[in-house]
Chain A
Amino acid sequence: MRGANLLVTFRAALLRRATRAVPGALCIALLVGPIVALVVYACSTRWFFPQLLPAEWTLTPLLRQLGSPQTRVALRASLLTAGVTTALALVLGLPAARVLGLWRFRGRTLVLLILFLPTVVPPLAIGMGLNILALRLGLAGSLLGVVLVHLVPVLPYTIFALLGVFARYDEGYELQARTLGAGPLRVWFRVAWPLLGPGLTVAALFAFLVSWSQYLLTLLIGGGRVITLPMLLFAAVAGGNPTSIAGLALLFAAPPVLAIALAARALAAGSAEVGQQY
Chain B
Amino acid sequence: MTAIALSHLTKSYPRQATPALADVSLAAEPGTLLALLGASGSGKSTLLKLIAGVEAPDSGEITFDGRSILRVPAHRRGAVLMFQKAYLFPFLSVAENIAFGLRVQGASRATIQAEVRRMLALVELPGIEHKRPAQLSGGEQQRVALARALVTRPRVLLLDEPFSSLDPTVRQTLQEAVRRIQGELGITTLLVTHDRGEALAMADRVALIERGEVLACDTPRRLFERPPTCRAARLMGVTTFLRGELAGGWLQSRLGALAVCGPSPREGRATYAIRPEQIRLRCLPGPNALPARILAQTFRGELSEYVLQVGDATLRVQAFQPVAIPAGGELFVELPPEHLFPVCDDEASSERPL
Contact = CB atoms under 8 A, between A and B. Distances in A.
Contacts of A277: 90, 132-134
A179 B80 contact: yes
A274 B80 contact: no
Interface in B142-170: 148-149, 152, 158
A194 B76 contact: no
A177 B149 CA distance: 10
Given A180-B148, A194-B91, A275 B132 contact: yes
Contacts of B101: 180-181
User: Chain B interface secondary structure, helix, strand, loop or mixed?
Assistant: mixed
Interface stretch (B24-32, B81-89, B220-228, B276-284): B81-89
A172 B148 contact: no
B105 A274 contact: no
A273 B77 CA distance: 32
Given A194-B89, A277-B133, A179 B54 contact: yes
A178 B52 CA distance: 9
B74 to A, nearest CB: 5
A183 interface: yes
A183 B81 contact: no
B234 interface: no
A180 B80 contact: yes
A178 B74 contact: yes
Contacts of B110: none
A177 B145 CA distance: 11
B160 to A, nearest CB: 10
A178 B75 contact: yes
A177 B54 contact: no
Interface in A172-217: 172-173, 175-183, 186, 190-191, 194-195
A182 B54 contact: no
A175 B87 CA distance: 9
Interface residues of B, number: 30
A178 B76 CA distance: 9
B217 to A, nearest CB: 24
B54 A181 contact: no
A175 B81 contact: yes
Contacts of A51: none
Interface residues of A, number: 23
Interface string A143-180: 00000000000000000000000000010110111111
Nearest to A187: B75
B54 A180 contact: no
A268 to B, nearest CB: 15
A276 interface: yes
Contacts of B52: 179
Contacts of A49: none
Contacts of B100: 177, 180, 182, 190
A186 B87 CA distance: 17
A200 B104 CA distance: 25
B70 to A, nearest CB: 16
Contacts of A175: 54, 81, 87
A194 B352 CA distance: 56
A180 B134 contact: no
B331 interface: no
B91 A183 contact: no
Contact of A172 (B75, B80, B87, B158): B87
A178 B149 CA distance: 12
B79 interface: yes
A48 interface: no
Nearest first, the 10 closest Cβ-Cβ pairs linking A and B are: A277-B134, A176-B87, A275-B134, A179-B81, A194-B91, A277-B90, A180-B101, A181-B104, A178-B74, A276-B134
Interface of B: 52-54, 73-81, 83, 85, 87, 89-91, 100-101, 104-105, 132-135, 148-149, 152, 158
Interface of A: 170, 172-173, 175-183, 186, 190-191, 194-195, 273-278
30 contacts: A170-B87, A172-B87, A173-B87, A175-B54, A175-B81, A175-B87, A176-B87, A177-B89, A178-B53, A178-B54, A178-B74, A178-B75, A179-B52, A179-B75, A179-B77, A179-B81, A180-B80, A180-B101, A180-B152, A181-B75, A181-B78, A181-B104, A182-B100, A191-B89, A275-B90, A275-B132, A275-B133, A277-B90, A277-B132, A277-B134
